[in-house]
Structure 1
Amino acid sequence: MKVLSKFVIPLVVFTLLVTGCSFGGKNEQKENEQSTLKIMYYDEGSFFQEYGMVFSALYPNIEIQVVENRKMYQGDNKDMDAALDKFITEEQPDILMLDTDQYKKLALDGKLYDLDPVMEKEKYNTEGLIPGMLDYLRENGGGQVFGMTPSFYSQVMFYNKDLFEKYQIEPPTNRMSWDQTIQLARRFPTDGDKKERVYGLKMGYSEDLFEMASILANSENVNYVNASQKQMTINTDSWKNAFKQAIDALDSNALYFDSMRNQGGDEPMAQSYEDYLLSDPFIAGRLAMTMGDINFINQIKQAAENEKVKDKIVKNWDIVTVPVGQQNPDQSSMMSFNNIFSIRSESPSKDAAWKFLSYVTSEDFARVKSKSNNYNGLPVRTKYITDTEGHNFAAFYDLKPSTFNSYKDFDKLPESFWGEFRGAASQELEKVKKKEQELDAALDILQVKGQEMLLKEDPVPTEGAEGAGTSESSGSVTTIETTE
């Protein structure tokens, strides 16, 4: 046995040295190898400012080459899927920057690298990520995670604590329904001059009934058209309830809309900077509740630092989650991921690409990003979404992102449908607002008119037709219409 061991032990040691398995020989060598990482992004300068400079300092052996995708959006590109496929084929980026629809399509086409095994192997820390992020990516990826996102956008509901105390109204709470929120807004007084009075809630840009009902319906994950089947669905109980709720809210006179800012007042160009700051009724202390993102906080702070108006600015405010749908009380339709970074399935630099993805979703990156102005969104690590003044910043991520897409398959509809239907809806619903037509009658008309519009075929112009052009892609013809 002793004689045998003299041969076996040296053989084992020799094998380990050759393979590098035991001492990480190959792993250490890999860590020190120079590699190039091609990353798809808008432009090189903004990429390095946002991500690249710190990453390059941490990983000097990885040379980053930014391939700018701006040219995809130049010219007359109508088929953006074809433009993206062409860009990937020509540029061969290792990391793709995608929106949700692009992410879903490329994942389904098998063009993205599955990250689930990598996260398990590398013991990637998923604790501390905003709730629902990985579920969102997995659901849109067909069951697997094919990308990571370093930041997110989320709206919250701001409320003026002083106004609620003044009128002895209990303040809003997280996960209130739209109906509860509107009823709360109605408890504030509605009298007084439009430019001086108090409003309960700001809701959207204008008093357009269709726009308001769409906000309510969207929170319940219902659409007015099934685009894939070309079937109108506006004459349903869900939409009737949304319209009735919107009409009731409008009749209450408790709502404020952005379109009211300059009604009967000075033209925007004639306003001073101080007038501009006070033109927002919430900042001016005249609005009880409003929706906004992290950038709205910066606007409040800027106004509060202005010597001329700082005494007129809202001081005692806080935030809660945006109103939710009754069927989806834990989801926000006002939360989104701007950039999803995915690794191309055929990338030769997957190890380096994973280092980048894991870094931009790490606590280290979140800590650095939390020191910035957050114009590009909030970091996905909740530990660094905090406020030194004690405001409820958890409201930014307390809800999970909704995967409902009200524009799903809209590319399958006739090009004229959107404009034509919105025009018809505006005409019929204006009669409802003026009490000249019943809601049921208006929805009957829109159901029929909309169905007729859905069944229209886009005109196929003849060669050389004046005022029209064609763009062929993937065997399809896209019509480009011009108007005089």
Structure 2
Amino acid sequence: MRRLAALMALSVLLAIAAGCTKSAQTQDLPKTLTVACCQNYTYDMQFRDFIEAGFPDWDVRFVPMQADNDYKAYDEKTLAAFMDKEKPDLLILNVPDYSLMRKADKLQNLEEWAAQKKTKLNDAVTPGVLDFLRGEEGGPLYGIGPGFHASAMYYNKNIFDRLGIPYPTDGMNWEQTIALADRVMQDKRLEKGEVGLHIPWLRGPFDLLQRIAGNEGLTYANAKTGAVTFDSQGWERLFKQVAAAYKRGTFVATWPEARESDGRTYYDQAAMEAVDLFKQGKAAITIDDDNLMTNLKSGKPKFDWGVVTAPARSSDPAFGGELQMYEVFAIPVSASHAEEAWEVLSYFMSAHVGQAKAALGGTLGGMDLSVQADYPEWKQDPDYKPFYALRPTNTIDRYYYGEPQGPGSFDTSFAELVNGHIRNVVENKETEDKAFGAIQSGAEALMKKALSEVQADGADETDKAGKSE
């Protein structure tokens, strides 16, 4: 019944958009379109109803890019084979597949389409999404999507009120955030089990260190040159602050208990809830994405909360936090029905669809934020504004702060090295200065070992290839 009601609401909300679409169609020649996207389930939940409501007379063929419950990764060869076999006109891609096709020059320039059609495709889109999709070099726009996820800083008003400490504010950087969390942690009135800062999915202090480093634009290694770049003032300042906060218990590393089924590892809702200190009311501050907003608004926690912008980059407060996109719309160079593909893409990027998503919430195709900058106003909820305030510190070329920076086994070994020295600080076996000073030389030894292993593996593969010929 809930889905039926949502479908009826969708039909009403998209009436204007559908009317505009029909006016552009020829009545005697039905249009055809092949859409390649995701899995059947995802397409049915997020896209099918919108397309059928907006283009009821079209012959739309859907081609799944993945079988249900199969999250296989494409490479350039297998993706090219899929394109050659299915010949889609419109692609709805995940970020890795979009990156592959973008680098291979297999996608049409959407800004050229916008200029040709005299439309302002980008004007209403929040700038952070455009920055993300243009990549590190700020290149042309080959894809765009109607939804995104972004991070923000949430805080427990009850804890701050009880301690008489001012709330977090927009524009705080990570150093200020940890300092505020430290202030909470050092207050003797803090109750047992409460912490100043909770960050989801931390295996150890290095994970937080790396997350902050990504926000600040710091890297610890260069895989191409084999250089270790940890020995810098920026890293030293960051390392000492995180090590000191970890020693004081300002934040703790928490990771949900995994379950195994059919050879797969997964984390169920109960496991994640068990380690979520913020949702339990035990953390003063957390940094999380908009999914937490949805959960807090629907779950009605037993504490009052607020939200401000994610920690900003200290050198440029216009940037802060990470952005994620799970679906990117693109038109392949090989599209036979590119005009129709553009029409559907434009429809999904319209204010009408954005307003429909705002009205429907998570009921139907509305699980993420709309890229339209007016979304908080459409929602009539200022809590959503922090997600639109900053430009992201990641891009399509550097999607996630945890991506490898060194060759082979280096990154795992480096994380263990850093965590080990922070444990020594916690246990008073090393001073912060001594621990930081030991990491560069230790990392250089790990880099040398990793490079040797990579070279040896390459030689083995070459030898095997020669023998097989």
TM-score category of the 2 structures, normalised to the smaller one: 0.7 to 0.9
Match of 2:369 among 378, 386, 391: 378
Q: Matched residue of 1:201: which SS?
A: strand
Checking the alignment, whether the CA contact within 8 Å between 1:206 and 1:259 is kept in structure 2 is: yes
Match of 2:314 among 323, 326, 348: 326
Checking the alignment, whether the CA contact within 8 Å between 2:154 and 2:305 is kept in structure 1 is: yes
Aligned to 2:263: none
CA distance in 2, matches of 1:253, 1:259: 16
Checking the alignment, whether the CA contact within 8 Å between 1:153 and 1:337 is kept in structure 2 is: yes
Task: Judge which range, 64-73 or 384-393, deviates more.
Answer: 384-393
1:28-47 correspondence runs (5 A): 33-47=29-43
Letter in 2 for 1:453: A
1:70-109 correspondence runs (5 A): 70=66, 80-109=75-104
Alignment of 1:396 onto 2:387: yes
Checking the alignment, whether the CA contact within 8 Å between 2:89 and 2:336 is kept in structure 1 is: yes
Match of 2:446 among 426, 443, 449: 449
Checking the alignment, whether the CA contact within 8 Å between 1:150 and 1:361 is kept in structure 2 is: yes
CA distance in 1, matches of 2:216, 2:204: 19
Aligned to 2:59: 63
Query: In 2 relative to 1, CA 245–289 (structure 1 residues): closer, same or farther, beyond 3 Å?
Result: same
Deviation at 1:393, TM superposition (A): 1.4
Alignment of 1:164 onto 2:155: no
Q: Matched residue of 2:145: which SS?
A: coil
Higher Cα Rg, which structure: 1
Relative contact order: is structure 1 or structure 2 higher (C-alpha 8 Å, sep ≥ 6)?
A: 2
Aligned to 1:24: none
Aligned to 2:5: none
Aligned to 2:338: 350
Q: Matched residue of 1:368: which SS?
A: helix
Checking the alignment, whether the CA contact within 8 Å between 1:62 and 1:352 is kept in structure 2 is: no
May I ask how many residue pairs the two structures share in their alignment?
422
Checking the alignment, whether the CA contact within 8 Å between 2:91 and 2:330 is kept in structure 1 is: yes
Identical counterparts, % of pairs: 23
Query: In 2 relative to 1, CA 367–29 (structure 1 residues): closer, same or farther, beyond 3 Å?
Result: closer
* TM-score, normalised via structure 2 length: 0.77
Aligned to 2:355: 367
Letter in 2 for 1:459: D
1:173-322 correspondence runs (5 A): 173-190=169-186, 196-206=192-202, 208-259=204-255, 280-304=276-300, 313-314=302-303, 316-322=304-310
Gapped runs of 5+ residues in structure 1?
1-26, 262-272, 305-309, 478-484
CA distance in 2, matches of 1:148, 1:154: 16
Aligned to 1:16: none
CA distance in 2, matches of 1:397, 1:49: 25
> 1 or 2, which has the higher helix percentage?
2
Query: In 2 relative to 1, CA 78–160 (structure 1 residues): closer, same or farther, beyond 3 Å?
Result: closer
Q: Matched residue of 2:192: which SS?
A: coil
Match of 2:423 among 413, 422, 430: 430
Aligned to 1:116: 111
Match of 2:325 among 337, 350, 370: 337
Gapped runs of 5+ residues in structure 2?
1-22, 258-268
CA distance in 1, matches of 2:458, 2:51: 50
Letter in 2 for 1:448: A
Alpha-carbon RMSD across the aligned residues, in angstroms, is: 3.8
Match of 2:150 among 154, 166, 171: 154
Aligned to 1:22: none
CA distance in 2, matches of 1:234, 1:161: 37
Residues 319-376 of structure 1 deviation map (CA, whole Å, 9 limit, x = unaligned): 0011122123222332222211110012111111011111111111112222131774
* TM-score, normalised via structure 1 length: 0.75
Letter in 1 for 2:65: N
CA distance in 2, matches of 1:33, 1:330: 49
Aligned to 1:53: 49
Residues 39-93 of structure 1 deviation map (CA, whole Å, 9 limit, x = unaligned): 2212234313312223223223432212111159969x78723222222222221
Checking the alignment, whether the CA contact within 8 Å between 1:164 and 1:171 is kept in structure 2 is: yes
Deviation at 1:429, TM superposition (A): 4.4
Q: Matched residue of 2:171: which SS?
A: coil
Query: In 2 relative to 1, CA 412–73 (structure 1 residues): closer, same or farther, beyond 3 Å?
Result: farther
Q: Matched residue of 2:52: which SS?
A: helix
